[in-house]
Chains A and B, each alone.
Chain A
C-alpha cells in the first residue's frame, strides 16, 4: 500500500508532557502534511513540509522529515487537554499522478 502508517495508533499522556507521533511511507513524496481531527469534526491543517526540508515549526508543533528513512515525526510540546484529537499525516506524491494519501492516524489523549 502507498499509504503510510502513523505510530503509535494511540497515545495517552499527562498535560504538560510532550507528545511524539511518527509517520512512515513507502514511495517518494513531494510533501508531507499533518492534520488534526477533533472527534466528529473535519480535519484541520497543521503543517506542510516539503521533501527538501528537514524541519518546520509552528507554535508548539515541530515536524521533522527524514526522506532517507521515509519517515516524519510530529512533536507537540507542553501538551494541553485541548490537544486531545486524532492526528493524521498525508503524503503528497506527484510522481504517481497527483496522489495524496492519508495514514490511519494517531489518537492522542491528554489527561488534565
Chain B
C-alpha cells in the first residue's frame, strides 16, 4: 500500500515553463516532507523539504506548497530548464525516525 501517492507519472514542459507535481499522503503522523531529484544512474538527492508548520517554502526556482487539511503537497518548478530534466520523488516521514515513504516518482522532461 503506497503511503504517498504522486502524480503525474511523467510530464513534458517547454523551457521557461512551469512544472507542477502533486503528492497526497494518508498518515497524519507524517511531519517531514522532502522532495528528491534523481538523474539516471545516480542516487536521489535532496532538493527541498518542508515541515507542516508552514504552507509554502521557496528555494530559487523550486517551491513546495503544503495543505495540511487536505493532506497534500506539491512541487512547482518555475522557469524550467533542460538541466531540470530528471525524476522527482516526493516523500514523507515522521521526525521521530526519518523513515521515508516515497511516492512513485515523476519523470520531467524539459524541451529546449
Partners in one complex: no
